[in-house]
A and B are shown apart, each in its own frame.
Chain A
Amino acid sequence: AQSVTQLGSHVSVSEGALVLLRCNYSSSVPPYLFWYVQYPNQGLQLLLKYTTGATLVKGINGFEAEFKKSETSFHLTKPSAHMSDAAEYFCAVRDLFGNEKLTFGTGTRLTIIP
């Protein structure tokens, strides 16, 4: 079964610093990959997705992620953190065909230090 591993349940960065949230997937066939953000007491919002094509994916709010097949990774980055980025971030995976369910990682809580 598809799975994703998020390294680091909590990450703290200073405002203006680089944000790097790590995600590795387990599949021999590149799947669909996603990053979702969850603000306190809210639902999940799609930040970006990798389906096919370009391996560097740009999302909303200045986030981007790079799909690296050789490393089975899909890390999320943002060059300069903003206070409003404080939230929980989930990496998710979906098979290319068949079952459309999303399998989520355990999440990374991002704290921004003023």
Chain B
Amino acid sequence: DSGVTQTPKHLITATGQRVTLRCSPRSGDLSVYWYQQSLDQGLQFLIQYYNGEERAKGNILERFSAQQFPDLHSELNLSSLELGDSALYFCASSVGGGGYYNEQFFGPGTRLTVL
């Protein structure tokens, strides 16, 4: 158990809908990262938040957005869902965001299925 929790574990929805994925980082970790794992794209970085502020952005679609709240939990919002958004979404957390090495601990993921 990495200490990173994600809810829900599974999510099944229809095209055009909007969903919210939630992540709680390990106690004391200030950075949260979101990754998407799909058959087409593999594992790719979406976005990072550090202490409530966006720190880095990757291949995140405009239909997707994220935020990190004062209690440091994070939410990833996916809207106007398409079949191709079906994937496993991982959250990871680390202690800092200062550029030096911080190990990222991964949650168990949320499996999103868009029908």
Contacts and interface: CB of A to CB of B under 8 A. Distances in A.
Nearest to A42: B108
A71 B45 CA distance: 26
B101 A51 contact: yes
Given A100-B31, A101-B58, A106-B42, A43 B97 contact: no
B56 to A, nearest CB: 5
Contact of A45 (B97, B102, B106): B106
Interface residues of B, number: 26
Given A100-B94, A101-B58, A107 B42 contact: yes
A44 interface: yes
B45 A101 contact: yes
- Size range of the chain A interface in the assembly: 20 to 34
- Choose among B45, B56, B58, B103 the residue with the greatest number of A CB atoms under 10 Å from its CB: B45
A102 interface: yes
Interface in A80-109: 90, 94, 97-107
Interface of B: 2, 31, 33, 35, 42-45, 48, 55-56, 58, 90, 92, 94, 97, 99, 101-109
7 contacts: A43-B108, A46-B105, A49-B103, A51-B101, A99-B56, A100-B33, A101-B45
Interface of A: 32, 36, 42-46, 49, 51, 90, 94, 97-107
Given A100-B94, A100-B104, 8 more contacts: A43-B90, A100-B48, A100-B56, A100-B102, A101-B48, A101-B58, A102-B104, A107-B43
